[in-house]
Amino acid sequence: MFKVGISRDLLNASGAPIFGTPALKILDACPAVAWEFTPELVAEVSPDMAARYDALHVNLARVTRASVGRADCRLKIIARNGVGFDSVDVEALRARGILLTNTPLAVRRPVAVATLTMIFALAGRLFQKDRLVRQGRWDARNDHMGQGLTGRTIGLVGAGGIGQEIMRVARPFFRRMVAADPYADGAVLQARGCELMPLDQLLSTSDFVVVCCELTPDTRHLIGAGQIAKMQPGAYLINMARGPVVDEAALISALDGKVIAGAGLDVFEQEPTPVDNPILKMDNVVLTPHALCWTDECFHDIAASALQSIVDVAQGRRPVYVVTG
């Protein structure tokens, strides 16, 4: 049998899969596959797990060189639940001939919608106004004027799958869309109504700077104090990518000093972020626990994509979304 382990962190408190049950039919329809939720909940895939399964569907657990280093490792595929794979040692998998797949299509629309949700909440002063009602302070409405978007510019740091999906959904709302991405094709973006420009120009041009690039050694702290200083005083920084792409200490200091108007963070340098992180006390930020895009549709589609990749390998086919292998 082709043994499949599904990461235990994909179960909710009552022990049901957070992605629903329909996606599991993909595994049930394949007679060669025997699957289970991994008995252990781990932060890092253990060599024992690697020796037990032919395929692992991993969510939060890291996959390191040690995970796959033992001689009895029988893994043929790691199917990452999501598009980012900074939690996986790609080189270690490549060296062992283990396939790594991700689920780029499934997250595009959900993250794009989550990005707009963040922008609408910040521009509309959603949470400040919610608090006014709860505190009976309707008179203070005058001091919480929101911002319209039709005259404003959205700037995307990263114009990959998610960046381009944001272009599709954001287009009706903004006057101008710009993007910075050293590897993007300006003509493709132009066809989407978006202008490619250097990062520094984007920072000084945009009212809403959205970070949606991948985390690599090159993009770690891509947005630091120097970059934030180039933004307009009324602008917002939104990070939908990975926490370490933005220097969080520099951001907190900039928010404190009113260098920019506010921020929206779905991701943090350390997750969960410590409860004494000073950003938690700030009024001009919207914070979500790396989960603003999580919906029933998103999680079904991610699981269906990842489990299909596993069945493809079990049946000797090459999966569609291969990162390496």
Ligand X SMILES: NC(=O)c1ccc[n+]([C@@H]2O[C@H](COP(=O)([O-])OP(=O)(O)OC[C@H]3O[C@@H](n4cnc5c(N)ncnc54)[C@H](O)[C@@H]3O)[C@@H](O)[C@H]2O)c1
By annotation, the residues acting in catalysis are 242, 271, 290
Q: Which stretch binds ligand X (CB under 6 A): 144-152, 234-242, 302-310, 312-320?
A: 234-242
Q: In angstroms, what is the minimal distance from the CB of 162 to ligand X?
A: 3
* Among the listed residues 5, 163, 243, 319, the single contact to ligand X using CB under 6 A: 163
By the rule CB under 6 A, 27 interacts with ligand X = no
Instruction: Supply 65's token pair.
Output: 């060189």
Residues 123-162 as x/- pattern, contact with ligand X by CB under 6 A: ----------------------------------xxxxxx
Instruction: With beta carbons less than 8 A apart as the criterion, state whether 116 and 299 touch.
Output: no
Using alpha carbons only, give the angle 135, 138, 143 rounded to the nearest 5 degrees.
105
Q: Minimum Å distance from CB 66 to ligand X?
A: 23
Which one, of 292, 279, 305, lies nearest residue 77 by Cα? 305
Residue nearest ligand X (C-beta atom): 160
Minimum separation from the CB atom of position 214 to ligand X (A):
4
Among 241, 250, 259, 306, binds ligand X (CB under 6 A): 241
Per-residue binding string, ligand X, 201-220, x by CB under 6 A, is -----------xxxx--xx-
Q: How far apart are CA 322 and CA 316, in angstroms?
A: 14
The 3 state secondary structure assigned to 111-138 is: HHHHHHHHHHHHHCCHHHHHHHHHCCCH
Instruction: Say how far apart CA 274 and CA 268 lie, in whole Å.
Output: 10
* List 69, 104, 124, 224, residue binding ligand X (CB under 6 A): 104
Q: Are 211 and 241 in contact (CB under 8 A)?
A: yes
182 close to 222: Cβ distance less than 8 angstroms: no
Q: Name, in order, each residue with C-beta under 8 angstroms of 69's C-beta and a sequence gap of 6 or more.
A: 47, 92
Per rule CB under 6 A, is residue 247 in the interface with ligand X?
A: no
Q: Which two tokens stand for residue 79?
A: 């199917």
Instruction: Give 202 or 307: the residue with its C-beta nearer to ligand X.
Output: 202
CB of residue 30 vs ligand X: minimum separation in angstroms?
Answer: 27
Binding site for ligand X (CB under 6 A): 82-84, 104, 107, 111, 157-163, 180-184, 212-215, 218-219, 222, 240-242, 266-267, 290, 293
